[in-house]
Amino acid sequence: MIRHLVSITDLTEKEILSILKNSIKLKQKLKSSKKATEYLKNKTLVMIFEKPSLRTRLSFEIGMTQLGGHAIYLGPTDIGLGKRESIEDVARVTSSMSDIIMARTFSHESIVKLAKNSSVPVINALSDLEHPCQILADFQTILEKKKKLKGLTIGFVGDGNNNVTHTMLLGAMMLGINFSLASPKGFEMNHDIVKRAKKISEKTKTKIFETNDPKLAVSRADVVVTDTWVSMGSEAEKDKRLKIFKPYQINSTLMHFAKKDAIFMHCLPAYRGYEIAADVIDGPQSVVFEEAENRLHVQKSLMLFLMNMLN
Ligand code: CP
Ligand code: NVA
């Protein structure tokens, strides 16, 4: 059976932990430049982007190079996904020649369709609904910093109806991490995602807490997180959003409500002075650049897992 990563819930808890463990190994190997890791020699990754990217493109392309394979970049004007050609046909053609596909799309449904019609693994590299690669890197970073995942509390402040928020909630529930969110009225998380998360939380005995008060959300948190107030695709609402989200900035006053040893995370790109104050993102509690680097390691591990080559 071909495995895809469309939603973080396509993986089991055990599989996530194994991907993280192998990622940490690959990272150590790379840092000590001990041994070549050409596990994907002569393999090709096709990268489909409908939106801009720095980290995702770099980490997948460099990751593939480090694994001995090759990556092809197809940008927004290359394919015309669903316009020049149907998504189904794009999936059939691309998977007939390549070994693995990653896609960053506007609509989540586009990735679902790509996966349905592909004969090779398809990875969601961000859709309007989820960002699973980011959350794998985030959990690796939390694990490295806190030495555990189970029992921790994440305090997320900002846009609830956001790909990063959704995947972090689902992943947190799977791994036994409590999740608190503060978002303004009208920017709550997607109802179906919360329903799915609640179902998982019943099994893992994990708590979800939703509020409009940022102080309550970060109170006693081990990990404080935010993301841009204006995600790709919402640019038309920029002025309105900047006003509504103003009380939701993470700054040093808000950080005082979290645990003393709390870490600060942000998937980047970040907008200093808006969702995050410069002294926090550039301060001692911030782990954002290690978080960004972990995209490289964890996606190498993910590709090996999906291609049945995780050792
Ligand atoms: N965090 C993240 O996905 O970054 P890019 O949009 O630059 O790829
Ligand atoms: N929520 C952001 C994440 C960027 C990596 C967006 O979708 O633009």
Number of domains in the chain: 2
- Which of 126, 138, 275 best tests ligand 1's pocket when mutated (most atoms within 8 Å of CB)? 126
pTM over 0.95: yes
Q: How far apart are CA 132 and CA 137, in angstroms?
A: 9
Protein residues whose CB sits closer than 6 Å to any atom of ligand 2? 126, 162-164, 227-228, 231-232, 267
Residues 94 and 147 placed together within one structural domain of the fold: no
Residues 186 and 280 placed together within one structural domain of the fold: yes
What is the sign of the dihedral through the CA atoms of 253, 256, 257 and 263?
A: positive
For 5-50, write each residue's pLDDT tens digit. Answer: 999 999 999 999 999 999 999 999 999 976 668 999 999 999 999 9
What's the average model confidence in pLDDT over 173-177?
Answer: 98
Which ligand ends up closest to the CA of 132? 1
pLDDT score, position 9: 98
| Residue 18 forms part of a structural domain | yes
For 125-159, write each residue's pLDDT tens digit. Answer: 999 999 999 999 999 999 999 999 999 999 999 99
Q: Would you please indicate which residues are annotated as catalytic (active-site) residues?
A: 104, 131, 134, 227, 267, 295
Given a cut of 70, is residue 311 above it in pLDDT? no
The distance in angstroms from the start CA to the end CA of the chain is 19
Q: What is the mean pLDDT of the chain?
A: 97
For 220-277, write each residue's pLDDT tens digit. Answer: 999 999 999 999 999 999 999 999 999 999 999 999 999 999 999 999 999 999 999 9
Burial of 177 (0-12, 13-18, 19+ CB in 10 A): buried
Range of the domain at 251: 134-291
| Residue 3 forms part of a structural domain | no
Distance 56 CA to ligand 2 centre (A): 11
| Residue 15 forms part of a structural domain | yes
Residues 121 and 157 placed together within one structural domain of the fold: no
Where do we find the tokens 């030495």? Answer: 147
Q: Which atom of ligand 1 is nearest to the CA of 131?
A: 3
Higher pLDDT, 35 or 85: 85
Residues 270 and 173 placed together within one structural domain of the fold: yes
Q: How confident is the model at residue 310 (pLDDT cuts 50, 70, 90)?
A: confident
Say which amino acid occupies 306: L
| Residue 311 forms part of a structural domain | no
Q: Which H or E run contains 122?
A: strand 122-124
Residues 144 and 115 placed together within one structural domain of the fold: no
Residues 147 and 283 placed together within one structural domain of the fold: yes
CATH of the domain at 256: 3.40.50.1370
Contacts of residue 5, Cβ cutoff 8 Å, sequence gap at least 6: 11, 121, 122, 123, 124, 132, 133, 302, 306
Residues 84 and 163 placed together within one structural domain of the fold: no
Alpha helix positions (H), 117-162:
132-146
Higher pLDDT, 36 or 54: 54
Residues 124 and 149 placed together within one structural domain of the fold: no
pLDDT score, position 3: 98
Residues 195 and 255 placed together within one structural domain of the fold: yes
Task: Report the percentage of the chain scoring pLDDT > 70.
Answer: 99
Given a cut of 70, is residue 97 above it in pLDDT? yes
pLDDT score, position 37: 82
Say which amino acid occupies 270: A
